[in-house]
């Protein structure tokens, strides 16, 4: 006896077949994923690193450190050419250098007897033309003597203030007895015009020059000029 299999039976078994297929597919996926994890675990367990601790005796001696050698730069010794030693060779007369003959010391003295051949040079200077510097020592037999003395004018400012003072004058007297230079060797310290008045009067003084070896010579003299109120 046959039964008709219609749409009602298919709808009734659809839910059951779908649940079975879903469960089977999930089981297959879990089986595949589990197989991957199991394979990785097995391979990692087989290649696990093993730590081995050794003693100092097992390590052996440390490697030696070789000294670093410095590069050596070769130093070339200078080549010294030895002097040529041999027999001189004759040359033609036209190539020979002309010999120069120098005068001897005796021959130089015969040419000019006034020339001194010693190491020191002596220059003769006329004492009358020599003007010494202040402080230079000049040997004289007679000191300059005053012929015409000009008295300085008393500064009016000092006179009104009743100030007195003394100025030390340094003067250069030439071989003619004239004043060639005047300086103030020491001021009065009053600041009242004494220095200017003393210098002005010193230029007008006239002297008999100093004498050395019966010849007039130039020399510096120093003398005080006193300013006193009467």
Strand locations in the chain, DSSP E? 145-148, 165-173, 179-186, 206-208, 210-212, 215-217, 219-227
Residues 2-35 pLDDT 10s: 445 556 666 667 777 788 888 888 888 888 888 8
173 Cβ neighbours under 8 A, 6+ residues apart:
144, 179, 180, 207, 209, 210, 218, 219, 220, 221
Residues 67-102 pLDDT 10s: 555 666 667 766 766 555 555 566 666 665 655 555
* Total domains present in the chain: 2
The conformation of residue 182, written as its DSSP 8-state character, comes to E
Percent of the chain with pLDDT over 90: 40
Residue 201 lies in a domain: yes
CATH code: domain of residue 160: 3.30.2420.10
What is the C-alpha separation between 177 and 198, in angstroms, rounded? 19
Residue 198 lies in a domain: yes
pLDDT of amino acid 202: 96
Residue 113 lies in a domain: no
Residue 164 lies in a domain: yes
Residue 71 lies in a domain: no
Residues 200-229 pLDDT 10s: 999 999 999 999 999 999 999 999 999 999
pLDDT of amino acid 22: 84
Cα-to-chain-centroid distance, residue 184: 43
How many angstroms separate the first and last alpha carbons of the chain? 189
Cβ count within 10 A of residue 138: 13
- Taking only Cα atoms into account, the Rg of the chain, rounded to an integer number of angstroms, comes to 65
Residue 184 lies in a domain: yes
Residue 196 lies in a domain: yes
Q: What is the residue range of 21's domain?
A: 1-45
């Amino acid at each position: 006896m046959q039964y008709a299999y219609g749409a009602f039976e298919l709808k009734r078994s659809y839910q059951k077949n779908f649940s079975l297929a879903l469960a089977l597919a999930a089981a297959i996926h879990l089986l595949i994923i589990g197989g991957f994890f199991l394979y990785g675990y097995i391979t990692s367990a087989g290649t696990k690193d093993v730590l081995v601790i050794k003693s100092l005796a097992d390590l052996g001696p440390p490697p030696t450190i070789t000294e670093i050698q410095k590069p050596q730069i070769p130093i070339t010794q200078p080549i010294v050419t030895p002097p040529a030693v041999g027999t001189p060779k004759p040359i033609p007369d036209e190539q020979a250098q002309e010999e120069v003959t120098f005068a001897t010391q005796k021959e130089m003295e015969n040419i000019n007897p006034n020339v001194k051949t010693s190491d020191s040079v002596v220059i003769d200077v006329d004492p009358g033309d020599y003007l010494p510097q202040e402080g230079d020592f000049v040997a004289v037999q007679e000191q300059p003597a005053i012929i015409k003395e000009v008295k300085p004018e008393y500064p009016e400012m000092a006179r009104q203030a009743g100030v007195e003072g003394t100025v030390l004058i340094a003067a250069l007297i030439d071989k003619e007895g004239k004043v060639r230079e005047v300086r103030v060797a020491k001021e009065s310290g009053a600041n009242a015009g004494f220095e200017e008045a003393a210098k002005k009067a010193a230029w007008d003084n006239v002297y008999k020059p100093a004498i050395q070896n019966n010849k007039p010579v130039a020399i510096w003299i120093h003398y005080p000029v006193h300013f006193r109120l009467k």
